[in-house]
Amino acid sequence: MSDTSCNKPNCNCSCHNQEPIVNIEEKKGNHGQSRRDFIRYAGLAGIGLGIGPAVSWWLQDKDRIKEIIKNPAIQNGKAQRFTILHTSDIHGQLDIHQEFFWENGKAVYKKRGGFATLQTMITELRKQNPENTLVVDGGDCFQGSGIASLTQGQALMPLINKINYDLVLPGNWEVAYGKKMLIHDMNGYTAAKVCANMFNNDDMTHDSLFPPYQIFNLGGIRIGFIGYNDPLTPIRQSPAYSKGIQFTKPEKDLARYVRILREERKCAMVFVISHMGLAQQLHLANEDCAQGVDYILGADTHERIREPIQGKFSKVTEPGAFASFVGKLDIVIENGKIKDEVYELLDVDPEKYKEDPDMKQLVESVKKPYNKVLNAVIGQTKTPLVRYFIIETPMDNLITDAVMWKMKTDIVVSNGFRFCPPLVPDPQTGVADITRDYLWCMLPVNSEVKTADVKGKQVLNWLEKELENVFAKDATKRFGGWFIRFNGMQVTFTIGNKKGERVQEVKIKGELLDAEKIYTMAACEREGDPDNMLCRMMNVHNPVPQGILLHDVLEDYLAEFSPVSPKLEGRAIATDGSPELLTQASEGIAYQFR
């Protein structure tokens, strides 16, 4: 059953007078049932609420919630309180894992996450406001782990449905299995779907793949959600993943959808749920098209926003990754005005929330057919495998070390990802086992290794482009947020310089780069790229697919050299940034990743 009467955002047909409105009250007591039991197709009568100036307190204090609950206006029904619980970038992480925190200038690791823990936590949080709580996910859920990759995301469907999400957005990695599986997996969710900027691009209709917006009715108040995936997805990733899909920028139609929700559908509040990364989301919050958007519930860069960042028109949040955190937003509306709002970023802490036994059993059942393959130990590490840093990471140093050992080229590069929770050695044994499942978490796309010859000048120009992708002053041109990773080179650069002038020095094999010299380079093959492209570098010479997959390279390397001890080595050095840089957020923003 479709979630909307019309998927065409530019359509003028009469069906747009009957957008779906979900009555959240109808969910009460039915958390195990399908959303088909309560999705309605008839529009409800508008209540004509307008939004006045907000009075906001960003106090992450349980007492504030208690005060809200005891508010006489809420008690007598004059005011309404609703709650939004927000997860994102789960990346197929089903189990409790070590999570990375930055405290007092150093890394600290704590156990967090797990679907069974998340189930208990969501259930308990729902009980605090059972009739008026929405649970939403911002994408990148069913790609990023062994079980996700081997089942093309399908193992995640029953788990997400058991949590009973209300609304889901596809993320940039939801396209990893191709358009057909994207639609299949998204339709496997019983939650409502939303995304305004993904369209069919393989026929003449250019229909939207998902409803551009959804409306929920909470306690008689209409709340509207508009969804946006990253418009840079086809460039950031292998082009073949998004074949047949066209992406547009939110600036194209956001203002129109806000007008529809505010003026025609009489929504009391409008939210953008997006998967575009912190830089793009902060940029959007300051654009005129965002007038009328109360919050941008963001995702993609795995940022942990503990206090909403106020833009010119909208506030921006982002709830971390790997099911380690839940963003919780409580709103009180009285007489059409926001009277109170409290936001918290909550840890999915297994010491606080006991694992739900039914969910734990379901997780084990979906994993069981793959346990023998995924639980196999392929190596060990004596140092933490971490991938949170923007500039260089121990995890990618391990990957590029392995490819360099196998290929013996001058340069090896690996894309800059923020996939994968940390792997931390046991304090008793001094090592941590690297399983094949963890290998899938590090490299959820098992690509073929490809080599080519590249000129020094090409390398320099390519590095400038990659730095622009990370640190562009125009936030709409920033990719996910992490610099390319490499071995064989040492690159010194200045973040704050303008485009094309950031690189200060490049050394290859310890010698200064020679613009006219030919170097050999190895990287992963990106499906759908031209033959003469290597890791987004155009016009390479003598490109040769090597007939060996990255996973095989890593397994061979670990068999030879375990236990490994990767660490930060200064392969990439920013003259104006710390090697432990953890966020892409612009200067002047009151935010720190921790």
Q: Residue 37 sits in a domain of what CATH number?
A: 3.60.21.10
Rounded to 5°, the CA angle 75-327-188 comes to 105
Give pLDDT tens digits for 509-568.
999 999 999 999 999 888 888 899 998 899 999 999 999 999 999 999 999 999 999 999
Distance of CA 556 to the CA centre of its chain: 31
Give pLDDT tens digits for 460-475.
999 999 999 999 988 8
pLDDT over 60 at 56, yes or no? no
pLDDT of residue 26: 39
419 DSSP 8-state letter? -
For residues 356 and 124, is the Cβ–Cβ distance under 8 A?
A: no
Least confident interval from 4-8, 72-76, 304-308: 4-8
Mean pLDDT, all residues of the chain: 87
Residue 460 and residue 343 share a domain: no
Residue 393 and residue 355 share a domain: no
Examine residue 212 and say whether the peptide bond preceding it is cis (omega within 30 degrees of 0): no
Block residue for tokens 């918290």: 344
pLDDT of residue 386: 96
The answer to whether residue 94 is domain-embedded is: yes
588 falls in which pLDDT band (50, 70, 90)?
low
**Tokens at residue 3, please?**
């979630």
The answer to whether residue 126 is domain-embedded is: yes
Block residue for tokens 């089903």: 94
pLDDT over 90 at 440, yes or no? yes
At 263 the three-state DSSP class reads helix
Instruction: Please write down the HEC assignment for all residues of 348-386.
Output: CCCCCCCCCHHHHHHHHHHHHHHHHHHCCEEEEECCCEC
- Among 361, 386, 420, the domain-final residue is 361
C-alpha torsion sign, points 347, 353, 356, 360: positive
Range of the structural domain that residue 208 is part of? 14-361
The answer to whether residue 324 is domain-embedded is: yes
At 528 the three-state DSSP class reads coil
C-alpha torsion sign, points 581, 585, 591, 594: negative
Residue 178 and residue 271 share a domain: yes
pLDDT of residue 48: 28
Least confident interval from 282-291, 327-336, 498-507: 327-336
At 153 the three-state DSSP class reads coil
d(CA 107, CA 509): 30
**Entry pTM:** 0.88
Distance of CA 373 to the CA centre of its chain: 27
- Among 299, 331, 361, the domain-final residue is 361
pLDDT of residue 63: 63
pLDDT over 90 at 334, yes or no? no
For residues 281 and 88, is the Cβ–Cβ distance under 8 A?
A: no
pLDDT over 50 at 193, yes or no? yes
- Among 361, 393, 416, the domain-final residue is 361
- Looking at the structure of the chain, the number of domains it has is 2
Residue 330 and residue 415 share a domain: no
**Tokens at residue 152, please?**
């093309």
Q: Residue 396 sits in a domain of what CATH number?
A: 3.90.780.10
CB atoms within 10 A of CB 170: 29
pLDDT of residue 53: 32
Residue 568 and residue 507 share a domain: yes
pLDDT of residue 589: 79
For residues 88 and 57, is the Cβ–Cβ distance under 8 A?
A: no
Give pLDDT tens digits for 477-514.
887 678 999 999 999 999 999 999 999 999 999 999 99
Q: Compute φ and ψ for 394, nearest 5 degrees.
A: -60, -35
Mean pLDDT, rounded, for 120-146: 96
Residue 125 and residue 159 share a domain: yes
